[in-house]
Amino acid sequence: MSKVTVVGAGNVGATCANVLAFKKIADEVIMLDVKEGVAEGKAMDMNQTAQLLEFSSRIKGVTNDYAATANSDVVVITSGIPRKPGMTREELIGVNAGIVKSVAENILKYSPNAILVIISNPMDTMTYLASKVTGLPKHRIVGMGGALDSSRFKYYLSEALGVNPTEVEGMVIGGHGDTTMIPVARLATYKGIPVSDLLSKEALDKVVADTMVGGATLTGLLGTSAWYAPGAAGAAVVESIIHDQKKVVPCCVSLEGEYGQNDICIGVPVVLGKNGWEKIIDLKLTAEEKEKFEASASAVRKTNNVLKEINAI
Ligand SMILES: NC(=O)c1ccc[n+]([C@@H]2O[C@H](COP(=O)([O-])OP(=O)(O)OC[C@H]3O[C@@H](n4cnc5c(N)ncnc54)[C@H](O)[C@@H]3O)[C@@H](O)[C@H]2O)c1
């Protein structure tokens, strides 16, 4: 019996819980929120789709009742405020740091062995915060950003190529920010063929640029940040962990010398399995890609430093 808790039953959290149940990724899904009745109501609504969508996973919603989350295998943290049009993910830090810290502490009281998947923004800094305040072994803290950004990258590639998105491979590494993420165009392929053989430089540059502002584009259209792809990306990360699928997914993890970095959580390709992130894939970056990675790490570090300024760590 697998049990997953999703903290925050807002747009991203509820979508993630829905995908976890619908795709039968977890047998039991707990949604927890601070807003009285919201998680309960959304869980009831989702359970009423079980016969229509043919799943037997059970979803339970609770208001701040951490005892109900006990013995979760994986806990997804989405609680916090999302950005509004014109805001950067970094502007959310003050409010979300307090929320992520208290949620992580409460969760571990009841699920001391859980693997944490951090989604709240600014995600790289919230993952770093979670690793500092919980002191958990590094493999049990996984930040979700690259799974979403890579999915957006593959979508834009498939549109430019006019092909099935499931047949496109591509990875986004680095920070999860409009200017910090690095879609690695050189390694993107369609059925094993480098996309650079199939698209003009201009078309590929546009795909990269569209990917980087993918979140901001949606925030502009929706008035708040997106949720279908973020929720599904969170569920995909959980799936590889819970089912020990050993999939390679770019995730935000703590680096100790890999990619030339220390004391930082940032996006790199990792193998996801039952122990959390199990192995870092060491991409042989070009000098230009390395330079971008270093610039990305510096920007993430700058945001991490705010945690010290506000005494969150
Ligand atoms: N990492 C990513 O790829 C990614 C993608 C999209 C959104 N996000 C981030 O995810 C977060 C959630 O976004 P959203 O659109 O679902 O927002 P939302 O406002 O719809 O939902 C957030 C929920 O968190 C709840 N909450 C607040 N404090 C809480 C606490 N202490 N305990 C439990 N629940 C609490 C709120 O009541 C709300 O229901 C934001 O920080 C957003 O920026 C990250």
| Residue among 95, 225, 249, 300 whose CB has most ligand 1 atoms within 8 A, to mutate | 225
Q: How confident is the model at residue 94 (pLDDT cuts 50, 70, 90)?
A: confident
Query: Is 10's C-beta closer than 6 angstroms to any atom of ligand 1?
Result: yes
The answer to whether residue 311 scores a pLDDT higher than 90 is no
Query: Is 144's C-beta closer than 6 angstroms to any atom of ligand 1?
Result: yes
Q: Within this chain, do residues 138 and 150 fall inside the same structural domain, yes or no?
A: no
Q: How far, in Å, is the centroid of ligand 1 from the Cα of 96? A: 9
| Residue among 38, 78, 176, 252 whose CB has most ligand 1 atoms within 8 A, to mutate | 78
Least confident span in 92-96, 108-112, 278-282: 92-96
Task: Show contacts of 160-164: CB within 8 Å, 24+ apart.
Answer: 160/199, 160/203, 160/204, 160/206, 160/207, 161/190, 161/195, 161/198, 161/199, 163/190
The answer to whether residue 110 scores a pLDDT higher than 90 is yes
Q: Within this chain, do residues 119 and 200 fall inside the same structural domain, yes or no?
A: no
Task: Note down the domain range covering 41.
Answer: 3-145
Interval 202-230: pLDDT, tens: 999 999 999 999 999 999 999 999 999 99
Q: How far, in Å, is the centroid of ligand 1 from the Cα of 78? A: 4
Query: Is 66's C-beta closer than 6 angstroms to any atom of ligand 1?
Result: no
CATH number at residue 241: 3.90.110.10
- Structure confidence at residue 19 (pLDDT): 98
CATH number at residue 65: 3.40.50.720
Query: Is 101's C-beta closer than 6 angstroms to any atom of ligand 1?
Result: no
Q: Within this chain, do residues 179 and 293 fall inside the same structural domain, yes or no?
A: yes
- Structure confidence at residue 154 (pLDDT): 98
CA separation (Å) from 150 to 57, 137, 235, 262?
A: 28, 26, 14, 24
Task: Report d(CA 160, CA 203) in Å as an integer.
Answer: 7
Last residue of a domain, one of 92, 124, 145: 145
Q: How far, in Å, is the centroid of ligand 1 from the Cα of 59? A: 19
pLDDT, mean of residues 82-111: 91
Which residues are identified as catalytic?
176
Across the chain, what does the average pLDDT equal? 96
> Which residues sit opposite 169 in a β-bridge?
189
pLDDT, mean of residues 287-301: 98
Domain count of the chain?
2
The answer to whether residue 8 scores a pLDDT higher than 90 is yes
Last residue of a domain, one of 85, 119, 145: 145
Q: How confident is the model at residue 84 (pLDDT cuts 50, 70, 90)?
A: confident
Q: How confident is the model at residue 183 (pLDDT cuts 50, 70, 90)?
A: very high
Question: The whole model's pTM is what?
Answer: 0.97
Work out the number of other CB atoms within 10 angstroms of the CB of residue 36.
10
Last residue of a domain, one of 128, 145, 162: 145
Q: Within this chain, do residues 227 and 283 fall inside the same structural domain, yes or no?
A: yes
Q: How far, in Å, is the centroid of ligand 1 from the Cα of 157? A: 28
